[in-house]
Structure 1
Amino acid sequence: MAAAKKLTDHHLTCVICTEVFTDPATLQCHHTYCKSCLLKYTKTQPEAVQAKSIPCPSCRQLTKLTNPDSPVEEWVSQLKPSHVIQGLMDDFGPGAEAADANVCSVCKTQGKTTPATSWCSVCDEVFCDGCLKMHNIMPMSRDHEVVDVSDATKRKARHRFMCKTHKDKQIELFCKDCKMAICHTCCSIKHRKCDDIDTLDNMTPLVREHLSNQNQELKIKMTTSENITILRKSQIKEIQTNAQNIKDEIRNIRQRVVEVILSKEKQLLDKVDRSSEEKLHELQAEIKSQEIELQMYQQQYEFTANAVTSNCERDMYAVYELVGEASTDNRDTGNRPAPGRVVFTHDMDKLSKAVDDLQLGEVAVVRGVSDRQSTPVLHHTIDCTADGDKKDTHLYDVTVLTVDAITVTVVADHYNKSLKTYHTSDPNTLGNLLLSNGPWQIAKLSESQIAVSVPSSKEIVTVNVTPDPVLLSTIKTSKTYYALSSLSPSQLAAGTYNQPDSVDILDMAGGILKSINTSVIRSPDYIHVTSNNNLIVGERRVTSLVCVTSEGKVVFTYTPAGVRALTESRGITTTSTGDILLVDYKSNKVIQLTESGQFVRDVLTQQDGVEYPRGICLDGDGFLYVTCRRFVSVFKFKKL
């Protein structure tokens, strides 16, 4: 149990059975498994069996065999564990437990526990003084190198450099063709046809360097794998949260539809009640009238009957005269029309069709622009022309905020000197804030606040979006700033006009904290701060895009030539994966670059309806917003 714990503590376990290695075997990819586990796995992989190779369960790399024509059952037996694995197994395995106990190996077979005093590097056994004398007398072992049992370091070193085939021979050579350490006897017998054999002394620094480099690569791969795992877990959580939000929204929509249906039901039921009550009142009035007439007829009947049976002719004729006058009342109450009947009419076919045509909404997988196989599809457009505009609407920039669960599009209308806001759910909802001069670029400070450059007035204004735009403050600047972006909650990156140090880092009062030289660009039109605080800067008069750190060190300069040459760079943004999206105004394009400034593709062109684009931004749902004169075109990405 103690040995198993040591092996487990040193990661000497098979990932297939999760137990301590049993007869380990190492593949060419350096992954190690139990031979029995590896054999069982190989038999389940018909393609690998057909290729006469052993597949790695972890990385799927195939290991070629020295004797592929042998039966599958014998393939794994041709593999040996790596020197490192075997050394660890020897150091921490059950055999090490006996050695650690310093009990004579020979005496132990006789049930004795005689303390060991010496160790033979060839036999790899420990002996007491008595057994050592016998060991030294025997012709086959008297020349073996024996050291004191307490010299653990020497034991370990000597054991590792002894040949496993010729146990009395020390490993002194390395066969580069076979990539294995060998002794002189192995060299003479098994490697005499090999061309490149060197001494172990010469190879050790190279092997150590190779393993060190490999270890560095593995460390990088481990970090990359760990980061990818963290990212994927984050994406899983985001997908689950998004799915729950969509489900809640669908249920809310269903509830609203049900409420509309219940409201219509109530209207019909109320109408039935009103109509029925009206008819009931008519009938009850009719009954009351008939009861009065009946009472009158009964009195007249009794009066007439008494006159008929009376012997007095005078009374009879008096009654006759009265009856004659009453008969002139020709009311025909029996022929009155029956009161109206309340009915309910409906068309089940029409109702069924309306239910079938009912659309609560659409569920679709929206891919991000980072997926280079995705295709942009126009989702909707926003016409930003407003009543009261004195000039043609010309949008220089756009950003998207989420204010109280409402998605708000904010645009900078330069010619009309205004900021306009639109609710994405209701594009006709407009907020308008007039400024002293034309706004240029919008910097997003938070989900409810923005900063806007107003170069003609040498101002930067901060605005609260409620979702209507409300002016918070006006910052007077000593320089003319066109480009503007948020570096941190308390700092802005602003592009100066015609200055060698073309980017200033400002505090929120407009004070200059630092100036940065961006090489070829002197008057930035647009600037964007990446997730790692690099600054991407463009200028319409320069055919280059420059990326620098916040300290001013150039990361890359993108200067394409030929058909890809920039005509007039404008808006800049980045994706969640770091890809760069750049607007090229005169070529009517949105270009995608890698994080390091390598061309990927033209994301949008004039064929997508993009004409003279300027501003650009991405929202949290992967929708791409591009300003084209007076319109904001909103694209989603699908894999067609």
Structure 2
Amino acid sequence: MASKHGTSWKDSVSNAGDEIHDFSCSVCKDDNLNIEAEYFCGDCSKYYCDTCLTFHAKLLKHHVVLGRKDVDMWVGQGDALVACALHPPKVIELLCEDHDELCCHLCVSLNHRMCRSISLISDLAKGIHKMANFKQLPANVTKVTDRLNQVNEARKKNQNSLNTSGKSILTQIKNLRSSLNEMLDELEKMTVEQIDSVLADLDGSLQKDIDHCDLLHDQLKALLDTVQAQGKESSSYIGFKKCKDTMEEANRLLHEIENKQEATITFQPDTRAQQLLSDLKALGNIQY
């Protein structure tokens, strides 16, 4: 699995050792050493082995350090942006270029053994803050979130129009029913059930689009805020990659929604109702 970006993942692992730890010393990891961490500093958001903690304690005496007895409190204390979603508390350090996926070392061991190109994030992230694509990220995210807002508002207006149409149809049904005798009771019930079912189906489809727009909008805003607060190139690269992936998903959703026809319904009463009451199963057809 050779890398196109300098130091390969295999070289890194061979230098660091084969043992996989739940938590590895952050300082040793920077030196390509795979040493299990015994402590976590919440102020530094870093893990330390016994040796590295000695130097940390001399320089930063007032930092709060958690030992192994408080290991449950370690999880979630680090940078959520670089945390591996599949294998917490592992951190994302690699990119499988065959699948274009961000990975931790465990991801590679389990799911990408046969992949040919695994690169270190630290190599890929070099100079990212100067890259044109990274500089354009805020504008690109804003463009997508603005479009999500526009489509979201259009769907809400369609939703309101649909509800208004539904109420209007119900009024037509009631007016038509008032001209008939007691034989219409069951037919009215069946027709109202029909329109309620259609409205529920259409409203559910619109609400699904609205909820999806809201979700992607919030994800993009949160990711952008996190990326812009980063100073570390690796974290910035990961945030940049996640933003691009989420924007691709948002663009697919926008394309799908924008190609949908606006949901509408109408009611067409049956003019033969008075002559054919005994044969009717509904007062009319709901069209959408």
Name the TM-score, length of structure 1 as normaliser.
0.14
Q: Rg larger in 1 or in 2?
A: 1
Larger helix fraction of residues:
2
Bigger relative CO (Cα 8 Å, ≥ 6 apart)? 2
